[in-house]
A and B are shown apart, each in its own frame.
Chain A
């Protein structure tokens, strides 16, 4: 097997290390969503939320043309 070489996100906390969403944008969205809290809490939530946006960017790089979302997902028996 090949040696470790792939660089890829490995979790929300890792993903958050890459800046994708400014703090001002986050504060604006949080207000619209009714999300509030102490400054330290919001700092950590901001970090988590950047991970959400990095995931979204990864998804946008996948060619999903022709793929229909299965809204009630169930693997067929065969």
Chain B
């Protein structure tokens, strides 16, 4: 089989070939290492590449499968983890040279679950330093580059995960999402990114940015692969104080292709905010397609969307500054300057204002729940713009010039505040060939409905089959 074809196959398709012994894990890993060698000089997706280790793991997986010890759909499938997921015996930098030699003693819960499922760790993926930024800048390990146009950002903070999945360097990658850090690079790189409900996937062993806003989740090329990954990584973890004790369904049962009767709300406030006309059209076309497939679409109002940036920023900045305060005092001079500034600016937030933001968060949560009494999903753009140029500080969204940080987190932050599940799925390309994402958000722990709609849309379009020109 052509090695590039292997690199662009989904985990769902690859796993069938692996199980039937038509392709071996060794072939899969070799194909990906070849792809990485060819594309990494442009993309810079990896901080640590585990070539020898992954080849050894692939040989072991091949032996196990040949001996009848097949572990399931991720057995022999290459995975890349954002470099803030602790991996036992493998350095974990959080995107900073301060931790260049930090080697955790044990795996985080998600890494352990991947290992148990037989997935093969290809490497640790580049990221915005300490996950504190939405663009994918990293002066310590080099900036990340968008596979669709290397002069443009991947989005962040899980930028290496976005570029690695989009360019066929990894079959499955993971991100962490505090203000949009899974969905932003997913949208800008043209892949699928799922931010699960808060508490559904364990945060244990991940470097925190903001305890109450951090969500680990999958970044992949198909909705089916998001479901397959969730089957492995979701579930209660007593090591995580925020882990939820809920029943875990088989997420692949959502992949029916049927959206008949599904009620989709379009918050009007999303379309009153700064928004590129091409993004607007792609998103409206996507929702119209879902409507033509039997979904019931209506306009709804989400007024607190307009306060979501203030609520999210206040909580995030206060919690990030608290978490990193010792580091700031000891090694602040080694931090990327914009990251250091965000951390130090958070020190100026009073306890009373932090708590007021938490009060406002409760109100936003109530508003979101009321909205989802009447509809099953909220739909809108993931991003108001396509990927900006690397190091740009401002971007045009329609006729309005706005700050890049605010723009990229405009639509994603509300679902970090209320913890609702939200997915970004490719829904088109701009005239310049840059990907556009559709965001669908659902009720807490109703990932099945989110995946169902995203999958039905994906299967009715061919956006996810396009490949970047690399």
> Chain A residues in contact with chain B, CB under 8 A?
1-6, 8-15, 29, 33-35, 41, 44-45, 48-49, 51-56, 58-60, 62, 64, 67-77
Contacts and interface: CB of A to CB of B under 8 A. Distances in A.
Interface in B204-248: 212, 241-242, 244, 246
A13 B410 CA distance: 13
Given A4-B275, A69-B358, 13 more contacts: A4-B273, A6-B273, A9-B310, A10-B273, A33-B344, A48-B344, A48-B345, A54-B310, A56-B349, A59-B360, A68-B362, A69-B361, A74-B419
A4 B406 contact: no
A5 B398 CA distance: 12
A59 B310 contact: yes
B359 interface: yes
Contacts of B198: 73-75
B341 A48 contact: yes
A11 B348 contact: no
What are the 6 tightest A-B residue pairs by CB atom distance, in nearest-first order?
A: A11-B406, A69-B358, A1-B271, A75-B444, A10-B406, A13-B403
B406 A2 contact: no
Contact of B348 (A29, A73, A74): A29
A56 to B, nearest CB: 5
Taking each of A3, A71, A77, which has the highest tally of chain B beta carbons within 10 Å of its own beta carbon?
A: A77
Given A14-B403, A56-B314, A64-B356, A77 B445 contact: yes
A2 B353 contact: no
A12 B346 CA distance: 12
B58 interface: no
A15 B341 CA distance: 15
B345 A75 contact: no
Interface residues on B, range: 35 or more
Given A1-B268, A41-B337, A59-B357, A74 B313 contact: no
18 contacts: A1-B272, A1-B280, A4-B274, A9-B309, A11-B309, A11-B405, A12-B406, A13-B393, A41-B341, A49-B345, A56-B350, A58-B307, A59-B353, A59-B357, A62-B359, A69-B361, A75-B197, A75-B365
B405 to A, nearest CB: 4
A74 B242 contact: yes
Nearest to A41: B337
Given A45-B345, A77-B244, A64 B309 contact: no
Contact of A73 (B212, B274, B306, B307): B212
B271 A2 contact: yes
B405 A70 contact: no
A76 B444 contact: yes
A14 B268 CA distance: 23
Contacts of A5: 272
Contacts of B399: 4
A76 B356 CA distance: 22
Nearest to B418: A75
B299 interface: yes
Given A10-B403, A13-B406, A67-B362, A59 B311 contact: yes
Contact of B420 (A6, A34, A75): A75
Contacts of B394: 13
Contacts of B38: none
Contact of B402 (A11, A44, A49, A76): A11
Contacts of B275: 4
A75 B445 contact: yes
B409 interface: yes
A73 B198 CA distance: 9
A14 B399 CA distance: 16
B69 to A, nearest CB: 35
B355 interface: yes
Contacts of B269: 6
B460 interface: no
Interface string B326-367: 000100000001000110111111100101111111110100
B297 to A, nearest CB: 12
B165 interface: no
A72 B311 CA distance: 16
B2 to A, nearest CB: 44
A58 B304 CA distance: 11
Given A2-B271, A45-B344, A77-B445, A12 B403 contact: yes
B438 interface: no
Contacts of A12: 313, 342, 345, 403, 405-406
